[in-house]
Amino acid sequence: MVLSLPSTLRSRFVRVIVWAVLIANIGITVTGALVRLTASGLGCPTWPLCTEDSLVTTPEMGIHGIIEFGNRLLTFVLLIVTVLVLVALWRLRREHRDLWRLGIVLLAGIPLQAVVGGISVWMKLNPYVVGFHFVLSIAMTVVATILVIRVYDGTETARLRAVPVVSWLLVASTLMTLLMGILTTGSGPHAGDAAAPRNGLEPELIQHVHSWPAYASIVLVNVAWFTGNVRARRWMAALLFALVAQAIVGVVQSRTGLPVPLVAAHVLMAMMTTAIATAAIYRSAMSGSMATAMKSAVK
C-alpha cells in the first residue's frame, strides 16, 4: 500500500525544485573544486570584490579570473534555486514545519558559505579554511538530501533513537573518510594557487590514513545491509557500490599522479556518496515508523 501524501507534496514543481537544490549544492561544490584544480583559487585575489577596484574579473586576471569569478556567480544560481524551494514550500510552512526549517537552513547556509569562501581568499587559500568550506558543503548536501526524502515521504519520519548502532558506526566512518580526504587534499599538489600554503602533513601517509575509514565503511555497509529493513537495504546496496567506486578511483588517482579529471571525479563521487549515505542511514531508522504508518493506513 502506498501512503497518501498531501497534494502539495505530490506537486511536480515541489519535487523537481527540491531535487534541483540538491543537485545545485553538489554542483557548486564540484565547480569549487575545479577552481582549485585549475589553480584559479586566487583568480580573484580579494573578496567580495574580484580586485581592489572591480567587482567583476578584468582582462588582466586572465582565464583564472574568469574561472574564479564564474564560480562566484554560481552562488546566485544556488540562491535562486533555494528561494524557489521556499516558495514551493510556503503553503506547507505550518503543516510541515520540518520541511520549511530545512529550506531555511539551506538558505542560511549560502551566505555562510560565501563568507567562509571569502575568508579563504583573504587567507591565501589556507588549507584548513578551504577544508572547512568543504565541510559546510557536506552539511548542506546532507540537509538537501533529507529535504528530498521528506518531501517524498510526507508525514512519515525517521527518529534518531531508531537508528541502529551499525548505522551510527557507518556515520562515523563515512564522516571520518571525508575529513581525512580533506586533510589529504590539503597536503597534496592541488592547492588552488602556486603560492598557497599546504598543511605540512606527509601526503603518502595521510592517503593511507584516509583509506582506513573508507575500508571500514565498506565492511559496515555490508553488516548494515544484512541487519537493515528492506527499504534501507536498497540504499545500502547503492552505498556499497558508491564506496567501492570511490575506493577504486582514489587508488588509481594516487598512483597516476593525481590527474585533474580523476580528482574532479573523486570530489563529485564524494558528494554523491554523501547524499546516498544520508538516504541509507535515514532509511535505516524508518522501519518502526513505517510499520506504524502502515497499520494506520490499513485501519
Domains of the chain, by residue range, sit at 1-155, 159-299
In the structure, what pLDDT confidence band is assigned to residue 10 with cuts at 50, 70 and 90? low
Other CB atoms within 10 Å distance of the CB of residue 16: 11
**Residue range 139-152: mean pLDDT, rounded:** 94
| Full-model pTM | 0.89
The more confidently predicted of residues 25 and 1 is: 25
Q: Which helix (H) or strand (E) holds 138?
A: helix 127-153
Mean pLDDT (the chain, rounded): 88
Q: What CA–CA distance (Å, rounded) separates 86 from 125?
A: 33
Q: What CA–CA distance (Å, rounded) separates 147 from 157?
A: 11
Burial-class residue 94 by CB neighbours within 10 Å (0-12, 13-18, 19+).
exposed
Please tell me the number of Cα atoms within 13 Å of 142 on its side-chain side: 15
Determine the residue type at 42.
L
Q: What CA–CA distance (Å, rounded) separates 29 from 131?
A: 12
**Backbone phi and psi for residue 87, each to the nearest 5 degrees, phi listed first:** -65, -45
pLDDT of res. 158: 65
Is residue 106 within 8 A of residue 88, CB to CB? The reply is: no
Res 44 pLDDT > 80: yes
pLDDT of res. 132: 96
pLDDT in tens, 162-174: 778 898 999 999 9
pLDDT of res. 161: 65
In the structure, what pLDDT confidence band is assigned to residue 289 with cuts at 50, 70 and 90? very low
- Across 19-28, 191-200, 278-287, the highest mean pLDDT is recorded for 19-28
Q: What is the CA radius of gyration of the chain?
A: 21
Q: Which of 89-93, 116-120, 206-210 has the lowest mean pLDDT?
A: 89-93
Res 297 pLDDT > 70: no
- Reading the block at residue 19, the C-alpha cell is 531535487
Q: What CA–CA distance (Å, rounded) separates 99 from 83?
A: 13
pLDDT in tens, 48-63: 999 999 999 999 889 9
Q: Which of 57-61, 230-234, 248-252, 257-261 has the lowest mean pLDDT?
A: 230-234
Q: What CA–CA distance (Å, rounded) separates 87 from 103?
A: 10
Q: What CA–CA distance (Å, rounded) separates 275 from 263?
A: 19
- Reading the block at residue 279, the C-alpha cell is 538516504
The more confidently predicted of residues 159 and 200 is: 200
In the structure, what pLDDT confidence band is assigned to residue 8 with cuts at 50, 70 and 90? low
Res 141 pLDDT > 80: yes
**Backbone phi and psi for residue 155, each to the nearest 5 degrees, phi listed first:** -85, -10
Other CB atoms within 10 Å distance of the CB of residue 236: 28
Handedness of CA 248, 126, 144, 48 (dihedral sign): negative
The more confidently predicted of residues 31 and 155 is: 31
pLDDT of res. 167: 87
Is residue 190 within 8 A of residue 37, CB to CB? The reply is: yes
Owner of C-alpha cell 583573504:
122
In the structure, what pLDDT confidence band is assigned to residue 129 with cuts at 50, 70 and 90? very high
